[in-house]
């Protein structure tokens, strides 16, 4: 099992550019989520999904889109990058009903200039 994988590890974008952060898991987990981590603020939930075809907004969804066409993949799209989106992004997954016991990917460090 590779667990939860994220690509890329690092990314630098210019303001206004778009990109997709990739997340995949091979544990057949129904629940997947995206967080951003900023110093002194812990983790903030961006979007989550409880299964293929079902997504919902978290605490800070503005500027981000998600889709879940398969159980394995949950990409996060930045539509028009802004410096405020400079952060470390984590993808996580868990078994349905146990969303509090999440498995995290290694993270993507994004810088927007």
Partner 1 sequence: AQSVTQLGSHVSVSEGALVLLRCNYSSSVPPYLFWYVQYPNQGLQLLLKYTTGATLVKGINGFEAEFKKSETSFHLTKPSAHMSDAAEYFCAVKGLDSNYQLIWGAGTKLIIKP
**Beta strand pairing call for 10-13 and 108-112:** parallel
- 3-32 binders of partner 1 (CB under 8 A): 4, 31
Letters for 57-86 (x = contact with partner 1 by CB under 8 A, - = none) are -x----------------------------
Report if residue 102 touches partner 1, rule: CB under 8 A: yes
List all residues 6 or more positions away from 97 whose beta carbon is below 8 Å from its beta carbon.
Answer: none
Task: Give the pair of three-digit tokens for residue 106.
Answer: 């290694």
**Beta strand pairing call for 64-66 and 76-78:** antiparallel
Q: How far is the CB of 47 from partner 1 (least distance, A)?
A: 11
Order of strands, sheet of 76-78, starting from the edge strand that comes earlier in the sequence? 4-7, 19-25, 76-78, 64-66
Task: State which of residues 44, 52, 71, 95 lies at the interface with partner 1 (CB under 8 A).
Answer: 44
Interface ranges with partner 1 (CB under 8 A): 4, 31, 33, 40-45, 48, 50, 58, 90, 92, 97, 99-107
């Amino acid at each position: 099992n590779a667990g939860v994988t994220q690509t890329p590890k690092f990314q630098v974008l210019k303001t206004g550019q778009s990109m997709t952060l990739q997340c995949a898991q091979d544990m057949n987990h129904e629940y997947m989520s995206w967080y951003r981590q900023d110093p002194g603020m812990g983790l903030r939930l961006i979007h989550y999904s409880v299964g293929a075809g079902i997504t919902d907004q978290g605490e800070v969804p503005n500027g981000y889109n998600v889709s879940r066409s398969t159980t394995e993949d949950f990409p996060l799209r930045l539509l028009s990058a802004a410096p405020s989106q400079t952060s470390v992004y984590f993808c996580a997954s868990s078994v349905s009903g146990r969303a509090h016991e999440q498995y995290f990917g290694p993270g993507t460090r994004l810088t927007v200039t």
